A and B are shown apart, each in its own frame.
Chain A
Amino acid sequence: MNLQKQTAIRVSQLVKSYKPDSPNAVDGISFEIEPGTVFGLLGPNGAGKTTTIKMILGLVLPTSGSIQLAGFDVEKERNKALSHAGVILEGSRNVYWRLTARANLEYFGALRGMRGKPLANRIDEVLHLVELFDRSDEEVRYLSRGMQQKVALATAILHDPDVLLLDEPTLGLDVQASRTMEQVIRQFVKKQGKTVLLTTHQMDLAERLSDHIFVIHKGKKVEEGLTSELIDRFGGQHETMEINLATIANTDVLERLIKGFPGLSATIEGDKTVLTWMDTGSQKELLNLLNQLDANGMTILQAGRRAATLEEVFLHLTSDGRETAE
């Protein structure tokens, strides 16, 4: 199916309530995903991301609302909708560990209606794509975590789906495996014009890959927009002060400062300390911080304001003091 002219995923007023006396896991969210884009669905743990993805796939039935996947109503034409989707689910093994990568692909390919020479050729193709061709005849349980996730990715794209739904696809992966995953996603979208719905806690990955970001918190939409616009919009309002210290700061002093200046955080980089402070507040407070650093014998190498990153924007948007958008 050519998705170029229609919305890849359309979610409208989606609600999921697991128990009548508990808050809704997903509370009235709506969004549309255009074909040929990466849509980052971001939120802290328990925000409702996985429930949303599972409702899109029909693995969890919504309490109310409607979902269209590849132009098909998921409630009424789930099988047709699923034939256009490839999936990696979070925390799940996704494939049979007691089978080889190739046997897994043969099995899931057959369940997808593929057979014979076209299936065999496609298996070789995806194994090359995820850089697993040489290990394809080893049982999955003997492969590394990264390779196991590559098998899951190969299975997800085997039937050449129009839409990929990836729930934490890089969780627990090393840098190299994570990069391969990123390359495949990029190729899937940019070269083939396909669509990806991605959830991840790796904000740098989301920032690099996503065209559009949707932030969800406690089941409700917090913000959404083009990634660059979102960072500009909130990064501009909430500039970050970055202060580089010459040495590794004393832990007790750091803890005291972090308590005293809300929004301040510290990271150790090599033999230096980097303080970042979003929403620095008044000039007086900033001077107060600088004075305290000086009073505690911390040498300031560099200090300056910069635009916030997606991670900082995300932390701001999902902080408990902030009301949701709807």
Chain B
Amino acid sequence: MSIAILGAEFRHTVRLARSYWLEYISDLLLYTLGFLLLITVFKAASASYGPQGYLSTLIGYTTWKICASILVDIARIATDEAHTGTLEQLFLTNLRPGSVFLTRSLGILVNHGVRGLVLAFILAAILGILQPVTLSAVIIFALTIAGACGLGFALAGLALVYKRIGGGLQLLWQMLVFFTGALAPIQNTYLDALSKLLPLTWGIAGLRAIMIERASMATLWQNGILIGLLINTAFYIALGIVLFTWGQRRARELGVLAHY
């Protein structure tokens, strides 16, 4: 994979984004209104909910929005390309299909990452909760995104073979918002155990510890958050590689690459 291909993929993403401008504006509005509604509800529910609560919610909400969007968009690369009729063309370049999907994923990552983070900083500035971004926070955020990408690739592999995965993606989207502690801490023991298996949970916990409690990486290692995140991310990346490799071979065996 070269810089030129990455550049081409990024220009491709921006050009398509320009073509679907209304969808992008709606998404930004929904993101902003969703966050404002959340903090209004939380403030009405608890008198002690203040700037620290805003920051906690913003960290969870932004991490969920960016990572879940990246995950879903990567999972939908295959189905979207099949719909536009260009999926087979992506398999006809002299790059390996995995490389083409990877560059497309990086385009998606930059697209959602920039949009989500810029808006999060604007909201943080307006609410007076702007924090310095440390290297530790960047590392934890990157590991969280990597895990989400891994799951995205796994689902993309399934989508190459089974095509319609929209229902599953909807379910996953809801699970990621409600069962990862993105909005509020999870009290139930069973749900807490479930949340530890999902890709965003450890990352959100780590980011809150670093940005709110000023925890160091050593602290995160000691309290198990870092090791949990590393194992979780490694698992989803491995799952992504295995299922995507299987999916693209199986789709070619069945001759269903172009189907949708």
Q: Does A305 contact B (CB under 8 A)?
A: no
Min C-beta distance of A169 to chain B, whole Å: 15
Q: Does A316 contact B (CB under 8 A)?
A: no
- A residues within 8 A CB of B214? none
When A92-B85, A94-B85, A96-B16 are in contact, do A108 and B255 touch as well, CB less than 8 Å?
Answer: no
- Rounded to whole angstroms, the CA-CA distance of A112 and B19 in the bound complex is 24
Q: Secondary structure at chain B's binding surface: helix, strand, loop or mixed?
A: helix
- A residues within 8 A CB of B20? 98
Q: Which residue of chain A lies nearest to B89 when distances are taken between CB atoms in the complex?
A: A94
State whether A111 touches B8 (Cβ < 8 A).
yes
Among B13-59, those with CB < 8 Å from A are 15-16, 19-20
Min C-beta distance of B250 to chain A, whole Å: 9
A110 contacts which of B7, B85, B86, B254 (Cβ < 8 Å)?
Answer: B7
- B residues within 8 A CB of A79? 94-96
Q: Does A61 contact B (CB under 8 A)?
A: yes
State whether B94 touches A83 (Cβ < 8 A).
yes
Min C-beta distance of B105 to chain A, whole Å: 15
State whether A107 touches B8 (Cβ < 8 A).
yes
Q: Which residue of chain B lies nearest to A119 when distances are taken between CB atoms in the complex?
A: B4
A93 contacts which of B84, B91, B92 (Cβ < 8 Å)?
Answer: B84
Give me 6 A-to-B residue pairs in the complex whose CB atoms sit less than 8 angstroms apart, sorted by A's number.
A25-B255, A60-B255, A60-B257, A94-B86, A111-B5, A113-B94
- B residues contacting A by CB (< 8 A) are 2, 4-5, 7-9, 11-12, 15-16, 19-20, 84-86, 88-96, 100, 249, 252-255, 257-258
- A residues contacting B by CB (< 8 A) are 16, 18, 25, 51, 54, 57-61, 79-80, 82-83, 85, 87, 89, 92-99, 103, 106-113, 115, 139, 155
Which 9 A-B pairs give the minimum distances between C-beta atoms? A110-B8, A93-B85, A83-B94, A111-B93, A98-B19, A60-B255, A92-B85, A115-B4, A61-B252
